[in-house]
Structure 1
Amino acid sequence: MIKHLRHILTLSAFFALSSITTAQEIAILKYNGGGDWYANPTALPNLIKFCNANIHTNIKPDPANVAANSTDIYLYPFLHMTGHGNVFFSDEDAENLRNYLLSGGFLHIDDNYGMEPFLRKELKKIFPGKELTELSSDHPIFKQAYKFPDGLPKIHEHDGKRPQAFGIFHDGRLVLLFTYESDLGDGWESTEVHNDPEEVRIKALQMGANIIQYAFEN
């Protein structure tokens, strides 16, 4: 209980201070299981640059890397997670992430392809009593700085499935967002990585900006 309270106070203090400090920070979540948590190395720096230029954020340009079991996650109001394969959370990882999310943190998980079946099982460790719920196209996350009336955009083709955004809620607040069959992170990557058309990259960056804005303001 004391440990959990300390985490809550740490994160609450960070949120209070972030409004008066010169820059915010976001981080990439490191996890075990063999999946490539480090995928898309140019993605988050490009998204940060886009957000700072277009939605008036002031995020430090280089995101940190933070382990799922580290108390350092409480230093960041926004965590991003991606990869292609296996994901494993230990009991310590799950407890730490649960406390972080219930304390006001936000986790965005973007399936880079192949993560989904492993992730669903591991999320049960973080929130045993909660299910991923698909977000409708009228959810506020699609109505931030940029409007997406049809919901999550399709960036890269994988299995011919429609893009879906799933969430986990606590007390009415979206604490975890899982984007599936969209691959936003590939769209955030530098142009030469995937040679995506500019309009596709812009669409991905705009949706990413909506996620950042929503997480910072809710």
Structure 2
Amino acid sequence: MKKYLFLILFSCALLGHSQQIALLKYKGGGDWYANPTALPNLITYCNNNINTTIETKPETVEVGSMDIFQYPFIHMTGHGNVFFSEEDSENLRNYLYSGGFLHIDDNYGMQPYITKELKKVFPDKDLVEIPANHPIFSTAFAFPEGLPKIHEHDGKRPQAFGIFHEGRLILLFTLECDLGDGWEDEIVHNDPSNVREKALKMGANIIKYAFDN
């Protein structure tokens, strides 16, 4: 019964907020607010290139709040520690199982913390690497080799990991890529225009996948 209640709540919320996205605020001391210009720039790019009509100013929503059910797409980033309480974990799990989508972008240094906390959310699921032929790499723009490399960090290859539920990708974790830095204003990191374009195109793919699936 509780599961169906969340489904009804999520469906009703989406009727009024289907073109609005949010940034996830979490506990633990990690800088959840990193890359302040990233989401606004991604929204502008999507509205101009893939026919979305997303509100230009993204909302901020706490992981344990029922407000997360208002948004079909939530973005999470940071460099450091992440902590989910039992209530946070249950709320996030219900949101994702009810049709929501979470993109976690490691801004460098987040991996050991978020992977540990995700086991609270999904004790019976593991992050699995997403192959390059998954639809998320071609929903709007083609990335035949999978996730693009935006920033070097440790020089490792970029990887996209996911959690699936009933065949649907509900959570995307991007590592050694740093899409969010590529979405930021050009002056922040001085990335070449072609690198920023790759980041924005991949971001548009993620948004479109979240909205369509």
The answer on 1:127 being equivalent to 2:127 is no
Match of 2:138 in 1: 143
Residue 106 of structure 2, aligned match among 93, 111, 115: 111
- SS of corresponding position for 2:191: coil
Matches within 5 A, 1:27-176: 27-176=22-171
The answer on 1:24 being equivalent to 2:19 is yes
Residue 24 of structure 1 deviates from its aligned partner by 1.2
Question: What is the identity, as a one-letter code, of the residue corresponding to 2:4?
Answer: L
Give the share of equivalent positions with the same residue, in percent. 68
Residue 5 of structure 1 deviates from its aligned partner by 3.3
Uncovered stretches (5+) of structure 2, i.e. residues with no partner: none
Residue 211 of structure 1, aligned match among 198, 206, 212: 206
Question: In the aligned structure 2, how far is the partner of 1:119 from the partner of 1:98?
Answer: 14
- With normalisation by structure 2, the TM-score equals 0.98
Residue 197 of structure 1 deviates from its aligned partner by 0.2
Match of 1:197 in 2: 192
Uncovered stretches (5+) of structure 1, i.e. residues with no partner: none
- With normalisation by structure 1, the TM-score equals 0.95
Residue 86 of structure 1 deviates from its aligned partner by 0.5
Aligned length: 213
Question: In the aligned structure 1, how far is the partner of 2:6 from the partner of 2:168?
Answer: 19
C-alpha RMSD of the superposition: 1.1
Match of 2:6 in 1: 7
- Misfit runs of 4+, over 3 Å: none
- SS of corresponding position for 2:180: helix
- SS of corresponding position for 1:39: coil
Residue 7 of structure 1 deviates from its aligned partner by 2.2
- Measured against aligned partners, the alpha-carbon deviations of 1:151-190 in whole angstroms (never above 9, x if no partner) come to 0000001111100000000000000000000000000000
Question: What is the identity, as a one-letter code, of the residue corresponding to 1:6?
Answer: L
